[in-house]
Chain A
Amino acid sequence: MKYNLELIKNKRKIISFSTFLILLSLLGILYSTFNTSYKKPINLGMDFVGGNELRIERVCEEECSNLSPDSVLENLREISSNKNFINNIKLQFQNNNKLISIRTPYLSIEESNNLITNLDNIIGPLNYESKDSRLIGPKLGKRLLTNCVTSLLVSLFAISLYITIRFDKKYALFALLALFHDLLIVFGIFSWLGIILSVEVNSLFAVSLLTIAGYSVNDTVVIFDRIRENLKSKEESYNETIQLSVNESFRRTTFTSITTLIPLLSIILFGTYSLFWFSLALSLGIIVGSYSSILLAPSLLLKD
């Protein structure tokens, strides 16, 4: 029934591992800022830069025929009035050529309708009932970005304030350190995903960061509470009490993480595509958060 994590012995390893992860994240962020086409710490999606995203299914009798995106674009170019946007268009076929997914710079509703009509002429018939179209103007995008960054800062500030009031300075400092560690690593992973797989982040990514912040602090609070409680009552040395407290709350922390991960996994497996990256970010955050609550934050408390 007892767990025996050798926290004291492994302190150095844990801290080095975390440092390594943080450096890797920073590297991703730097690389993304200077060495990519978008020159941003992370690949901002159309929520933040504006644009037009269209997904629509073709109506096929049996299997949908194989089409090359290039030839479709070529045809589109010929019949479209606005030659400009055609050059910046991204077109993909998914789901056995059934689903067409298109990204363009910002279009008006009229232009977007024309685009769909043109597509229908080239590769139709299309199933309009399956249409999913989003148009976001660049102005709104900028506003959303400021909005998200403000939300993040305000809520991090509120959480920090709460922690500082609730704990002594030392505990508060380490709990916050663990929190920023978690957020930085999730951010870094998505920087790398942007570089390697051109994964974009949208406003839901900011939401996931905020949720991770709330959740990760929650876990750390529970373990720190246990440590404080035990420091008052147990006779073992300071370091050993910390290790004991971590082992006592290990089952609880992993179990709660697992029960939170299970619903997220079911969204990843069965849910809609628009929630895929959101759930993935949350899952990663919960995994990293549990690691930092169980291993990193208490290790920082240990005395040499």
Chain B
Amino acid sequence: MKRRQGWLFFIIFLLTLSVYLLINYPLQLGLDLQGGSQLTLQIIKEEGKVTRDELEAVNSVIDKRVNNLGVSESNLQTLGGDQLILELPGEQNPLVASRVLGKTALLEFRTQKEGTSTDLKTLQLQRLSIKELIEQYSFEEKNQNNDNLLKVIQDDLKEIEQELNYSSTSNDLYGKLIEIKKYVDKEITNLFVKTDLSGKDLINAGRRQEQTNSNWEVLLTFSNSGGEKFAEITKSIAGTNQLLAIILDGESISEASVGNQFASTGITGGSATISGNFSAENARELEVQLKGGSLPLPIEIVETNTVGALLGSKNILKSLYAAISGLIFVGIFMIFNYRILGFVSVLSLVLYGFFNLALYSLIPVTLTLPGISGLILSIGMAVDANILIFERIREELYDGNTLTRSIDSGFQRANSSIVDGHITTLLSCFVLFLLGTNFVKGFAATLGIGVLISLFTSLNCSKTILRFFTTYQSLRQKNLYLPNNNFLN
């Protein structure tokens, strides 16, 4: 009896600790409960597996970009060796993040091949007209009041295609426009030769509004060696009709000439500006991408989940209803069938609930909808062990044993089959946790933790509480343990 008293104090201590933890370290809610967006980024590698170093490198670039975007409380983690998960809580639109993160942002500086000036001029004109066509098309789409305009765009496109001696293969007009633009971009890039200066030589990027008009420009700051390379390159083409192109992900965003005055030293000072008709938004996106550096491998956004904040709080409320009503009905069922014993199991269920939640805030486990369903399901499984024990106790009582003896042997004899029986469930949880997606992991974690804790609460806590009850003479009558109106009898 003395030993049990020690357990009783231990349990009360654990309960106090749990309440303390829950008050001071609130539970982390998943995005499906608090609202927000979750993006899954897949690293694309044509051959072989993504190595740990590559994953780290991609991770750090994305991390820098996210930080520079100024998204608050975002959370980035790797998943399964070649995926990253980015969580944006609250009402933050994933659109901007997706545009900024999805680009490789490979920045190159190239010099024009000699004797290609006329070719470049033609291509630049074609690029201009195709851009205009795309703008017209978007405008037409929004207002859709001019069928003639579509026809004009189509005819103009045909003309450009003939000039380029290239015919597009896309089905719809928009696809064709984009395809031709890409083709022109590629042709322009081909007129330039690579240099050894690239995005790696940058130490910072910034943006500012141009003084003459409302456009924005992006400022590049080179490292020491980068600045020297830049001076070298500009020196080599200064005063010639060769241009310097700044190329981002294969598309030239700026072509500029270097004046004769730089012929002796090149452009020194270690900085450059790109002024390519940027809007404020575009300039900011480019700045963020350049600051973070280029991605060593391209990535693709393969999954996006967005949950509104209102829906999130509704989800919490619904889950709460489900959990509480489940608890109440299980409690009614147990008390109806097992009387005092049932009441004991309800008390240990309440303990079970507190211990579970406290452990979630300690580990910490982020609570999601599947996680909550795992928790609710484990309520039912937690009573399983109690039922096994109580059935044994009843059998002993029917055989005419004393109350104390029945309780003792009931717990003793049920012990092994309870531990055994939970092993298969734990096995499933383990596999789910190892192989499952993020979504599934939440369920496996809460169900697994639940099954483990239930071993403690239903074996130890219920025994201690029951022992405590039986120290009172008034609670030792047999008919409190053996109800006559049995369900399923």
Inter-chain CA distance A214–B429, complex, in Å, is 9
The answer on a CB contact under 8 Å between A207 and B302 is no
The answer on a CB contact under 8 Å between A274 and B436 is no
Kindly state whether residue B270 has any CB partner on chain A within 8 Å: no
Please, which residues of chain B bring their CB within 8 A of the CB of A140? 40, 42, 302-303
Kindly state whether residue A131 has any CB partner on chain B within 8 Å: yes
Inter-chain CA distance A112–B429, complex, in Å, is 35
B24: min CB distance to chain A, Å: 29
Kindly state whether residue A88 has any CB partner on chain B within 8 Å: no
Contact of A129 among B308, B369, B432 (CB under 8 A): B308
Q: Mark A103-139, 1 if CB is under 8 A from B, else 0.
A: 0000011101100000000000001111111111101
The answer on a CB contact under 8 Å between A131 and B334 is no
Please, which residues of chain B bring their CB within 8 A of the CB of A147? 435-437
Kindly state whether residue A231 has any CB partner on chain B within 8 Å: no
Q: Which residue of A lies closest to B38 (CB)?
A: A134
Which of B281-289, B402-410, B439-447 forms part of the interface with chain A?
B439-447
The answer on a CB contact under 8 Å between A221 and B424 is yes
The answer on a CB contact under 8 Å between B380 and A129 is no
The answer on a CB contact under 8 Å between B376 and A267 is yes
The answer on a CB contact under 8 Å between A251 and B488 is yes
Contact of A109 among B94, B337, B369, B387 (CB under 8 A): B94
Inter-chain CA distance A196–B261, complex, in Å, is 79
Q: Which residue of A lies closest to B175 (CB)?
A: A82
Inter-chain CA distance A75–B293, complex, in Å, is 43
The answer on a CB contact under 8 Å between B308 and A278 is no
Kindly state whether residue B149 has any CB partner on chain A within 8 Å: no
The answer on a CB contact under 8 Å between A254 and B488 is yes
Q: Which residue of B lies closest to A255 (CB)?
A: B387
Q: Mark B263-302, 1 if CB is under 8 A from A, else 0.
A: 0000000000000000000000000000000000000111
The answer on a CB contact under 8 Å between B432 and A210 is yes
Kindly state whether residue A225 has any CB partner on chain B within 8 Å: yes
Inter-chain CA distance A70–B322, complex, in Å, is 36
The answer on a CB contact under 8 Å between A272 and B369 is yes
Inter-chain CA distance A256–B383, complex, in Å, is 7
In chain A, positions 18-40 with a C-beta closer than 8 Å to chain B are none
Q: Is the interface of B mostly helix, strand, loop or mixed?
A: helix
B172: min CB distance to chain A, Å: 7
Kindly state whether residue B370 has any CB partner on chain A within 8 Å: yes
Kindly state whether residue A193 has any CB partner on chain B within 8 Å: no
Most chain A beta-carbon contacts within 10 A, residue among B32, B42, B94, B302: B302
Contact of A203 among B42, B310, B373, B439 (CB under 8 A): B439
Inter-chain CA distance A62–B425, complex, in Å, is 49
Q: How many residue pairs at the A-B interface have CB separations less than 8 Å? A: 229
Contact of B440 among A203, A219, A274, A282 (CB under 8 A): A203
The answer on a CB contact under 8 Å between A267 and B425 is no
The answer on a CB contact under 8 Å between A266 and B329 is yes
Contact of A262 among B309, B330, B388, B447 (CB under 8 A): B330
The answer on a CB contact under 8 Å between B427 and A252 is no
Contact of B377 among A128, A134, A159, A282 (CB under 8 A): A282
The answer on a CB contact under 8 Å between B488 and A214 is no
Please, which residues of chain A bring their CB within 8 A of the CB of B436? 147, 151, 203, 207
The answer on a CB contact under 8 Å between A222 and B432 is no
Kindly state whether residue B56 has any CB partner on chain A within 8 Å: no
Please, which residues of chain A bring their CB within 8 A of the CB of B428? 155, 159, 210-211, 213-214
Contact of A162 among B94, B424, B432 (CB under 8 A): B424
Q: Contacts A162-B424, A211-B428 given; indicate if A263 touches B330 (C-beta within 8 A).
A: yes
Inter-chain CA distance A278–B305, complex, in Å, is 19
Kindly state whether residue B10 has any CB partner on chain A within 8 Å: no
Kindly state whether residue A201 has any CB partner on chain B within 8 Å: no
Kindly state whether residue A301 has any CB partner on chain B within 8 Å: no
The answer on a CB contact under 8 Å between B326 and A263 is yes
Please, which residues of chain B bring their CB within 8 A of the CB of A162? 423-424, 427
Inter-chain CA distance A179–B444, complex, in Å, is 20
B42: min CB distance to chain A, Å: 7
Kindly state whether residue A258 has any CB partner on chain B within 8 Å: yes
The answer on a CB contact under 8 Å between A204 and B370 is yes
Kindly state whether residue A89 has any CB partner on chain B within 8 Å: no
Most chain B beta-carbon contacts within 10 A, residue among A78, A82, A110, A134: A134
The answer on a CB contact under 8 Å between A134 and B373 is no
Which of B192-200, B205-213, B251-259, B414-422 forms part of the interface with chain A?
B414-422
Which of B229-237, B311-319, B350-358, B465-473 forms part of the interface with chain A?
B311-319
A268: min CB distance to chain B, Å: 9
Inter-chain CA distance A221–B421, complex, in Å, is 7
Q: Mark A265-281, 1 if CB is under 8 A from B, else 0.
A: 11101111011001100
Please, which residues of chain B bring their CB within 8 A of the CB of A222? 388, 417, 421
Contact of A271 among B98, B318, B439 (CB under 8 A): B318
B151: min CB distance to chain A, Å: 17
The answer on a CB contact under 8 Å between A81 and B424 is no
Q: Which residue of B lies closest to A135 (CB)?
A: B304
Q: Mark B75-101, 1 if CB is under 8 A from A, else 0.
A: 000000000000000010111001100
Please, which residues of chain B bring their CB within 8 A of the CB of A278? 370, 373
Contact of A259 among B99, B387, B429, B440 (CB under 8 A): B387
Contact of A127 among B144, B310, B423, B427 (CB under 8 A): B310
The answer on a CB contact under 8 Å between A78 and B319 is no
Inter-chain CA distance A163–B318, complex, in Å, is 38
A202: min CB distance to chain B, Å: 9
Kindly state whether residue A218 has any CB partner on chain B within 8 Å: yes
B92: min CB distance to chain A, Å: 12
Q: Contacts A137-B300, A137-B302, A259-B334 given; indicate if A150 touches B380 (C-beta within 8 A).
A: no
> Can you list 15 contacts pairing A with B, beta carbon distance less than 8 Å?
A79-B141, A108-B301, A109-B95, A129-B91, A129-B310, A134-B303, A135-B303, A140-B40, A140-B302, A151-B431, A262-B333, A263-B323, A263-B377, A272-B369, A274-B369
Q: A82-B174, A159-B427 are in contact. List 13 more A-B contacts (CB 8 A).
A: A78-B144, A109-B304, A132-B306, A133-B306, A158-B431, A207-B440, A252-B388, A255-B488, A262-B326, A263-B330, A263-B376, A265-B326, A271-B319
The interface of chain A, by Cβ under 8 A from chain B, is 1, 56, 78-79, 81-84, 108-110, 112-113, 127-137, 139-140, 144, 147, 150-151, 154-155, 158-159, 162, 166, 203-204, 206-207, 210-211, 213-215, 217-219, 221-222, 225, 251-252, 254-256, 258-267, 269-272, 274-275, 278-279, 282
